[in-house]
Structure 1
Amino acid sequence: MLPWIQLDCAQIPGGGGELRLKQRGTEFSIMLGTNELMNSRLSGSEEALATLSWEKISPRKRPHILIGGLGMGFTLRAALAVLPQDALVTVAELVPEVVTWARGPMAEVFQGSLDDPRVKVHVGDVGALISASRNSYDAILLDVDNGPEGLTRAANDDLYDYTGLRAAKAALRPKGVLAVWSSGPDQGFTRRLRDVGLAVQEEHIRAGRNRGARHVIWLASTDASTVGAKR
């Protein structure tokens, strides 16, 4: 078996630790300590984050989607595949090197998605972007941690507490959707979503296409008819 080769590393702003980009043949991995945050061979649930969200808000004219976390671009590519040509996709990525990797060693994985005219990359904190927005997004898609807690850095906890969820709710347009990816369930987070007045639907999606661990995607909206019955 081919060995893993470390291509680069990057510090997460705010004391979040070090990301390491590794490659083995055509396979890529991004690690934080001993935790593998993402792997280029497993993209099913990240893609579902985009497609399930679009199903809840389509069809809309000139939809604006905010994606928190560039990662390996799976959510972005899936969004671009279903969104109309008049859509706007803002991708917020905290770590500048991740954008560099997307245009460099992982360019084949990204397949030119960053050059799509619908895409705008914001290098910075997605939480700050959400807090500064009002009635701006049709969908907010968050995949910045392994779940609704600050794994990559403690400050990310603010995205998932009551203050952060109220900010996300205010940043959504009417009947907009907040979608959050997680490696596993979290009943406390489900409760917090409902406590701030959001109707919630949970989806359990395989990490790969019909294989691998089951990940969780929360779909939350101010309008129960948008996300369907609570689960």
Structure 2
Amino acid sequence: MIPWELLDTAAIPGGGALKLKRRGAEFSIMLGDNELMNSRLSGSEQALATLSCERICARPAPTLLIGGLGMGFTLRAALESVGAQAQITVAELVPAVVAWARGPMAELHGASLTDARVKIVETDVARLIRAARACWDAILLDVDNGPDGLTRDSNDGLYSREGLLSARAALRPGGVLAIWSAHAAPEFAQALRKARFSVEEVKVRANGKRGGARHVIWIAMRAEN
């Protein structure tokens, strides 16, 4: 078997470090001994985009905010799901992840980073959410393993009541807040409802129709008025 090769490490603001590893054509991004993402497993990250875009497809020029570039699965699925007038902003906290996308993982990302509809911003997605008012048609969050922050304790702020209310304020009427999680969290669905979202919990497989671990996506809709 081909051994894993460590390509790079990158500090996470606030502490910790990510590791980019490669084995043949396969890539892995890890935090310590925890694998955050793998290039062979893309189904649930793609579903985060497709499930969201289905709900805003009637809008002629939708604006999307994606929290976390990762390996680009969500971005590429979003680009395939929206029209030519859409605008997609990707907020990535760790600059090295963007550098990896343009460097060793460039083939994996394809033309997504240079698509005219895409803007990459190296910042905390929470900052963009807090600064916005009725700005986004969809906010897609895949910045951690779920509502319980793994990579950064401060990610918990995205999923607190204050963070959820900020996300609701940042959405246009009828907009979508979609959140990816590696595990179920019934109390979080209730927190979304308390923040005045209508909520659908969708269970998806890590590798789509080919199976894999069970992940969860919450689709939280802001009312039209």
TM-score band w.r.t. shorter chain:
over 0.9
Aligned residue number for residue 47 of structure 1: 46
1:139-194 CA deviation, whole Å, 9 max, x = no partner?
A: 00000000112211111100000000000000000100000000010011111000
Aligned residue number for residue 220 of structure 1: 220
RMSD of aligned alpha carbons: 0.8
Deviation at 1:80? 0.3
State how many pairs are aligned.
Answer: 223
User: Match for 1:3: what amino acid?
Assistant: P
- The whole-number CA distance in structure 1 between the counterparts of 2:9 and 2:189 is 34
- Work out whether 1:3 is the aligned partner of 2:27: no
Gaps of 5+ in 2: none
Q: Normalised by the size of structure 1, how large is the TM-score?
A: 0.95
Aligned ranges 1:16-165 → 2 under 5 Å = 17-165=16-164
User: Match for 2:7: what amino acid?
Assistant: L
Deviation at 1:25? 0.1
Deviation at 1:88? 0.3
User: Match for 2:215: what amino acid?
Assistant: H
Deviation at 1:223? 2.6
- The whole-number CA distance in structure 2 between the counterparts of 1:67 and 1:195 is 23
Percent of paired sites with the same residue: 62
Deviation at 1:81? 0.6
Deviation at 1:58? 1.3
Deviation at 1:82? 1.1
- The whole-number CA distance in structure 2 between the counterparts of 1:153 and 1:131 is 18
User: Match for 1:158: what amino acid?
Assistant: G
SS of equivalent to 1:91:
strand
Deviation at 1:209? 2.4
SS of equivalent to 2:90:
strand
Please list every run of at least 4 consecutive aligned residues from structure 1 whose deviation after the TM superposition is greater than 6 angstroms: none
Gaps of 5+ in 1: 225-231
Q: Normalised by the size of structure 2, how large is the TM-score?
A: 0.98
